[in-house]
Chains A and B, each alone.
Chain A
Amino acid sequence: MHPAPSVILFSTLSGLGFGLLAFLGFGMPSPTGLMAFIWFSIAYALAVGGLIASTFHLGHPERALKAFKQWRSSWLSREGICAIAALLVMALYGAGAVFFDANWTLVGIVGAVLSIGTVFTTSMIYTQIKTVPRWANVTTPIMFLSICIAGGALLAGQVSVATPLLILAGVAQIAHWVFGDKALANSGTTLATATGLGARGDVRAFEPPHTGTNYLLKEFVYVIARKHALKLRVIAIVLMAVLPVLLLITHSHILAALAVLSHLTGVFAARWLFFAEAEHVVGLYYGKR
């Protein structure tokens, strides 16, 4: 799949932002006054910034409001509704903390659940896509959720829970790769089933429909060299999980800030790979898988 920067930015930044909102909602930490204002500003900048970035890949962003209509069938619609609900409920909770020194526990918990729910709906947009076997399995939501929660814990300064959660997120990411590498072969979809001609002999793409490129090839048949993919995977996992865990050992504020930056960069690399390595079955028709 074509790795669209706007979508990668969205899933990385919003994932971290909603993770932080979830921890704030659960009261870990529970700041008030100016400190609360700063915490909530960071969380909203990440979550809303990501959401705004995601509209850049739309052909008609001016019609984006129509996307809230089809929650009965569409995970993208559910994501939009869940995100707005989470942001509104957490705004109420945040207003309480900033202006009234209040800690409305129930509002916070509802907001936290909606925040994590938003990341779940994001992950389901990909998990429902059967045409990309690498995505259409349970490792996708587990990976998205574990990274969101680990990032949230790290950014919220919850050092004692952040370390095991980061390790868990790293394991979930590796599981997604290991499982994903075999997913296309295990799906049973080949050029033989794509053309229905497999029973007659070996099928080979002989001539494409046109000499130039097209939307399908640009969007779905992006191919990354395997040797680079492996290097990027190592970089992603080291920056996302290994380095932050090491930086957290000393309990220094500066090192913790570095840990957040490292984590964010690592997740960004992993999300780039999430798209770049995804094999869409339409590539089979073009002899590209």
Chain B
Amino acid sequence: MTTLPTSTAKKLGLVIDLDTCVGCHACVISCKGWNTENYGAPLSDQDPYGENPTGTFLNRVHSYEIQPKEAPAQLIHFPKSCLHCEDAPCVTVCPTGASYKRVEDGIVLVNEQDCIGCGLCAWACPYGAREMDAEEKVMKKCTLCVDRIYNENLPEEDREPACVRTCPAGARHFGDFADPDSNVSRLTAERGGMDLMPEMGTKPVNKYLPPRPKDRDRSDDVDILAPFLEPVATETTGFLGWLDKALEAMPGSSKGGKS
């Protein structure tokens, strides 16, 4: 059913720390690995070793430069996957009911047996979270590793999304946003977790933590005591002054050169 649930018991999602992410793309690879071998159709590649390789990914890492008004530029690595929106436009546009949001935990999933591959859900998503697999011709998206997080065949520490489990920097956190005391709710509150494109009205569940303020480079600053210092000599004196003049006078040196 493609009408959205009015509320979900849990709101599972991710917090992504833009301050900590080092842009290593390990989450991209672990996501592709897990989701190729597990839930649904594999994530195919086209021409993987050729001139023009492309493929389906559920998680991609962009990099952005911020140029503040009076500080050096900053580089921000920016992982982006499905935000499991509360008001998910990708779900309501689906004509077959293949796209749905789970009532129990809020995960947005695609039932691939019902997907006709019309692509309308990908049109409706502002974040580019959905990609049509060129081989299987069905829509692929982040499942929040629904086949890991409840999987009792896995050791307990592995029951979180592959991207979170693999992140070497600890930049990704998984939890329940409906619980105000969960790790993700507390991180969001403490660090000012933000929504992407809030004006689109999608109410994303996933939150992004903004980069912490950086120390400013002060090497070019002028000290307040500088005017009281002795002026720097403009003419060379002593032995170096004599040497400079002597070398200047030698044949072959440029006329009027002052170096």
Q: How large is the interface on A (under 10, 10 to 19, 20 to 34, 35 or more residues)?
A: 35 or more
In the assembled complex, how far is the CB of residue B153 from the closest CB belonging to chain A, in whole angstroms?
Answer: 31
Q: Judging by beta carbons under 8 Å apart, are B64 and A69 in contact?
A: no
In angstroms, Cα B110 to Cα A63, docked, is 15
Which of B18, B28, B117, B131 is A60 in contact with, Cβ under 8 Å?
B117
In angstroms, Cα B89 to Cα A200, docked, is 29
Judge if B78 is at the interface, Cβ distance under 8 Å.
Answer: yes
Residues of chain A within 8 A (CB-CB) of B68 are: 200-201
In angstroms, Cα B85 to Cα A130, docked, is 15
Given contacts A196-B196, A201-B68, A209-B62, whether A67 and B95 have CB atoms under 8 Å apart is: yes
Task: Name the residue of chain A whose CB is nearest to the CB of B113.
Answer: A63
Which of A66, A132, A195, A281 is B76 in contact with, Cβ under 8 Å?
A195
Residues of chain B within 8 A (CB-CB) of A281 are: 126, 197, 200
Query: For B66, B89, B97, which residue has the most chain A Cβ atoms within 10 angstroms?
Result: B66
Judge if B3 is at the interface, Cβ distance under 8 Å.
Answer: yes
Q: Judging by beta carbons under 8 Å apart, are A131 and B210 in contact?
A: no
Judge if B114 is at the interface, Cβ distance under 8 Å.
Answer: yes
Interface of B is mostly: loop
Judge if A249 is at the interface, Cβ distance under 8 Å.
Answer: no
Which of B62, B91, B114, B208 is A196 in contact with, Cβ under 8 Å?
B208
Which of A60, A130, A202 is B200 in contact with, Cβ under 8 Å?
A130
Q: Judging by beta carbons under 8 Å apart, are A76 and B93 in contact?
A: yes
Q: Judging by beta carbons under 8 Å apart, are B95 and A201 in contact?
A: no
In the assembled complex, how far is the CB of residue B40 from the closest CB belonging to chain A, in whole angstroms?
Answer: 14
Q: Count B interface residues, CB 8 Å.
A: 70
Fill in one digit per residue for B189-206: 1 if any A CB lies within 8 Å of its CB, else 0. Answer: 000001111111100000
Which of B126, B132, B194 is A282 in contact with, Cβ under 8 Å?
B126
In the assembled complex, how far is the CB of residue B217 from the closest CB belonging to chain A, in whole angstroms?
Answer: 15
A-B contact number at CB 8 A? 196
Q: Judging by beta carbons under 8 Å apart, are B137 and A60 in contact?
A: yes
Query: For B94, B126, B201, which residue has the most chain A Cβ atoms within 10 angstroms?
Result: B126
In the assembled complex, how far is the CB of residue A107 from the closest CB belonging to chain B, in whole angstroms?
Answer: 28
Using a CB-CB cutoff of 8 Å, which residues 123-172 of chain B contact chain A? 123-128, 131-132, 134, 136-138
Query: For A1, A67, A72, A131, which residue has the most chain B Cβ atoms within 10 angstroms?
Result: A131
In the assembled complex, how far is the CB of residue B163 from the closest CB belonging to chain A, in whole angstroms?
Answer: 14
Residues of chain A within 8 A (CB-CB) of B124 are: 128-131
User: Interface residues, chain B, CB within 8 Å of chain A?
Assistant: 1-4, 18, 25, 28, 52-57, 60-69, 71, 73-76, 78, 80, 89, 91-98, 114-120, 122-128, 131-132, 134, 136-138, 194-201, 208, 210-211
